[in-house]
Chain A
Amino acid sequence: MAAVQQTVDTVKTLDVDAYKYGFTTEIESEKAPKGLNEEIVRFISARKKEPEWLTQWRLDAFKRWRTMEEPRWARVDYPKIDYQDLYYYSAPKGTEGPRTLADVDPELLRTYEKLGIPLSEQEILAGVQERRVAVDAVFDSVSVVTTFKEELGKAGVIFCPISEAVQSHPELVRKYLGSVVPVTDNYFATLNSAVFSDGSFVYVPPGVRCPMELSTYFRINEQNTGQFERTLIIADAGSYVSYLEGCTAPKRDENQLHAAVVELVALDDAEIKYSTVQNWYPGDSEGRGGIYNFVTKRGDCRGARSKISWTQVETGSAITWKYPSCILRGESSRGEFYSIAISNGRQQVDSGTKMLHLGKNTSSRIISKGISAGRSQNTYRGQVFAHRKAENARNFTNCDSLLIGDQCGAHTVPYIEAKNSSALFEHEATTSKISDDQLFYCMQRGLEPEEATALIVNGFVRDVLQQLPMEFAVEAQKLIAISLEGSVG
């Protein structure tokens, strides 16, 4: 098990409390003034040279947001956020205009290199890698570069920053933006609609199988800056796309807000596979600092026999509030949710999914693995719903929780509602603890305690890891071991 070995080697090179992505990049940036008002919303929209309809869309969202209240139903606890004390726009200087690798500040390229994200196409091509990955790199509020655009273009695939898509493909953006997560959806989504800065846009034309993995790499760098990215992926009839997002942020003592919105649309017979490896800074072992990750992700299986699959590996953030969901509208459409959520230190996770069965013969599958260590709290919250007209809706849910140590908590909160008597919903849940017996058994065979824990945990999450694209599975495995650093003994 080379990966475990590697994992353990990595773990050993780190100190307790070490977050290896915690460095900051010294780079000049342009910011909007602190605080949030109509002027700021207009400022962001003007920066991006947006058409009038989008400015108005943002302003409507902002107006709505002012009447809303922050949701408090999740099992997380944090002090009140002062929304006027944040920056809503920050861009590294010189990122306007056409963006190719040659135009990118070398300091930024070095940042991504340090993070292990190759942005140079030559470098990727020179490697022996069989599978290539196109990357959209988002730094604070803007996308700095998107790779392999040309090659994707040949296949007809559009992969670009959403701010660019607004200019180059306004009809697509206008048609689909907000069509899955409406402007009024929830407090954080509405805030995002008002101030979203950048994110990725993907359109895969009918019948096209996207020739490579697409990925977006999000990096928060600036202090006191909220990140509000917006991702929109449309898979037209009969197409297929696999997309991965990764996230990191520097170590800072104060909390940073990340409120993203991701919308997926799958038309007839289309399939979208969306994977996330979320590794925002989780705060230190005493709970100082870290990202508030308040994210709305939703996929709409709009077409018949369409399929959307969410896979997430969540190891970071001080607080996670996130429920990647599927609206199963199209007949015989299918939704999947595979999740590994790891919490350590003082992290709080409230995450899960919603599977809303609206069409006939729709099916869904939920596999959730929660691992709590340290003094963290880890909640799975999931809704499975069948509409009155959703004949033969099928769901299978399996939620397993693993506890490491005796000061953490695991909670499972399922909401199951079937309004059609032909629905068949299954729910399984288990909670277990890594036993001293298991650890001792591994140690007797020569494994050190952290190696043993990593091995057992990797076994526990195997079903989900298998869903990730190969390269990312290895990365995720490493991440898991690092996240559990210091949880044993």
Chain B
Amino acid sequence: MLEIKDLHVNVHGKEILKGLNLKVPPGEVHAIMGPNGAGKSTTSYTLAGRAGYEVTKGEIDFFGEDVTALAPEERAARGIFLAFQYPLEIPGVSTMNFLKTAMNSQAKLRGERELNAAEFLRAVRSAAKELNISEDMLKRPLNVGFSGGEKKRNETLQMALLKPKLAILDEMDSGLDIDALKLVAEGVNKLRAPDRSFLVITHYQRLLDYIVPDVIHILAGGKIVLSGDKSLALQLEQNGYDAVIAKAA
């Protein structure tokens, strides 16, 4: 469903991704690990279509469609979701409002019917309950004054409601203590489905203890240098990136 072919990306005129190739079949969880500066965040932003991430060569295919030139909202409507490393604050806009606006926008872009107020409330309440998100939190302005754990749970809530085909989790564990991490990972695991894939981008192996991937890729110098099963993460943990990458090269 996701196929990245020979992707080259410039940011501020500097080439960051240098021929990235990656295939994620439906229902699988793939992890991308890599040292700082390898191009992890660039990969997630480029997949989401952020302005300033200029694709100079290659393409991104999503369900057979080349989405490389599509705007972020069009990709979102096709089912690409990015859980942000640092979710943004939007003062004065309640989480509830934001969720409703997002869901309706996507429905509209897809030419589907928008949810009515009762359907929406039911959907939010049940998803919020699963993630231990209080009514009060739904009424507060989006992410304003939220703790790290609350922000990530909120990202997971959005994912649950928007039901993406591909969820990219960018450093989902940053800023989380172990309890919060467990809660978020549980939420993510519940969303695993045969028609939904995950791309888990992380620096540390720790997250992969809770969200267990089918395949691990190591990104270094703007391309995938090594792919393998989950044991690769343990190798990294024991030997460090330098050694594993050197061995791969």
Chain A contact residues, CB within 8 Å of chain B: 1, 4-5, 435-438, 440-449, 451, 455-456, 458-463
Chain A nearest Cβ from B92, distance in angstroms: 3
Measured CA separation A441–B127 after assembly (Å):
21
Measured CA separation A437–B84 after assembly (Å):
11
CB-defined contacts of A438 to chain B, threshold 8 Å: 88-90
Q: Are A460 and B91 in contact (CB under 8 A)?
A: yes
Name B161-204 residues within 8 Å CB distance of A. 162
Q: Are B104 and A5 in contact (CB under 8 A)?
A: yes
Chain B contact residues, CB within 8 Å of chain A: 48, 50-52, 71-73, 76-77, 81-82, 84, 87-93, 97-98, 100-106, 109, 141, 158, 162
Q: Are B73 and A459 in contact (CB under 8 A)?
A: no
With contacts A1-B101, A451-B105 taken as known, whether A444 is within 8 angstroms of B92 at the C-beta atoms is no
Q: Are A441 and B87 in contact (CB under 8 A)?
A: yes
Measured CA separation A445–B76 after assembly (Å):
6
Measured CA separation A437–B141 after assembly (Å):
17
- Closest residue of chain A to B107, judged by CB? A446
Name the one of B52, B73, B88, B141 contacting A446, with C-beta atoms under 8 angstroms: B73
Measured CA separation A435–B90 after assembly (Å):
10
Q: Are B101 and A463 in contact (CB under 8 A)?
A: no
Q: Are B76 and A1 in contact (CB under 8 A)?
A: no
Name the one of A435, A448, A458, A459 contacting B105, with C-beta atoms under 8 angstroms: A448
CB-defined contacts of A462 to chain B, threshold 8 Å: 92-93
With contacts A445-B162, A448-B105 taken as known, whether A461 is within 8 angstroms of B92 at the C-beta atoms is yes
Q: Are A455 and B90 in contact (CB under 8 A)?
A: yes
CB-defined contacts of B102 to chain A, threshold 8 Å: 442, 445-447
| Known interface pairs A435-B88, A446-B76, A463-B92; 14 further A-B residue pairs with C-beta atoms within 8 A, sorted by A's residue number | A1-B100, A440-B72, A442-B102, A444-B76, A444-B82, A446-B103, A446-B109, A447-B73, A447-B105, A449-B73, A455-B97, A455-B98, A460-B91, A460-B92
Measured CA separation A444–B109 after assembly (Å):
13
Chain B nearest Cβ from A283, distance in angstroms: 29
Name the one of A444, A448, A451, A459 contacting B93, with C-beta atoms under 8 angstroms: A459
Name the one of B88, B106, B109, B162 contacting A441, with C-beta atoms under 8 angstroms: B88
CB-defined contacts of B50 to chain A, threshold 8 Å: 440
With contacts A440-B72, A445-B158, A446-B76 taken as known, whether A455 is within 8 angstroms of B88 at the C-beta atoms is no
Chain A nearest Cβ from B230, distance in angstroms: 28
With contacts A440-B50, A440-B51 taken as known, whether A447 is within 8 angstroms of B101 at the C-beta atoms is yes
- Closest residue of chain A to B168, judged by CB? A444
CB-defined contacts of A442 to chain B, threshold 8 Å: 90, 102
Q: Are B84 and A441 in contact (CB under 8 A)?
A: yes
Q: Are B72 and A444 in contact (CB under 8 A)?
A: yes
Chain B nearest Cβ from A445, distance in angstroms: 4
Measured CA separation A463–B97 after assembly (Å):
16
With contacts A437-B88, A444-B82, A446-B76 taken as known, whether A4 is within 8 angstroms of B101 at the C-beta atoms is yes
CB-defined contacts of B106 to chain A, threshold 8 Å: 445-446
In the complex, which of the residues A4, A459, A460, A461 has the most CB atoms of chain B within 10 Å of its own CB atom? Answer: A459
Query: Can you list 9 A-B contacts (CB < 8 A)?
Result: A1-B93, A1-B100, A441-B87, A441-B90, A443-B73, A444-B81, A447-B105, A449-B73, A459-B91
Nearest 3 A-B pairs (CB), nearest first?
A459-B92, A459-B93, A446-B106
- Closest residue of chain A to B71, judged by CB? A443
- Closest residue of chain B to A447, judged by CB? B105
With contacts A4-B101, A436-B51 taken as known, whether A448 is within 8 angstroms of B73 at the C-beta atoms is yes
With contacts A1-B100, A444-B76 taken as known, whether A456 is within 8 angstroms of B105 at the C-beta atoms is no
Q: Are A458 and B92 in contact (CB under 8 A)?
A: yes
Chain A nearest Cβ from B73, distance in angstroms: 5
Measured CA separation A182–B141 after assembly (Å):
45
Q: Are A446 and B84 in contact (CB under 8 A)?
A: no
Measured CA separation A1–B73 after assembly (Å):
18
Measured CA separation A435–B92 after assembly (Å):
15
Chain A nearest Cβ from B189, distance in angstroms: 22
In the complex, which of the residues A5, A435, A445, A458 has the most CB atoms of chain B within 10 Å of its own CB atom? Answer: A445
Measured CA separation A189–B51 after assembly (Å):
50
Measured CA separation A448–B105 after assembly (Å):
8
- Closest residue of chain A to B72, judged by CB? A443
CB-defined contacts of A455 to chain B, threshold 8 Å: 90, 93, 97-98, 101
Chain B nearest Cβ from A447, distance in angstroms: 5
Chain A nearest Cβ from B154, distance in angstroms: 12
CB-defined contacts of B77 to chain A, threshold 8 Å: 446
Measured CA separation A447–B158 after assembly (Å):
14
With contacts A441-B84, A447-B73, A448-B73 taken as known, whether A459 is within 8 angstroms of B90 at the C-beta atoms is yes
Measured CA separation A445–B52 after assembly (Å):
18
Chain B nearest Cβ from A468, distance in angstroms: 15
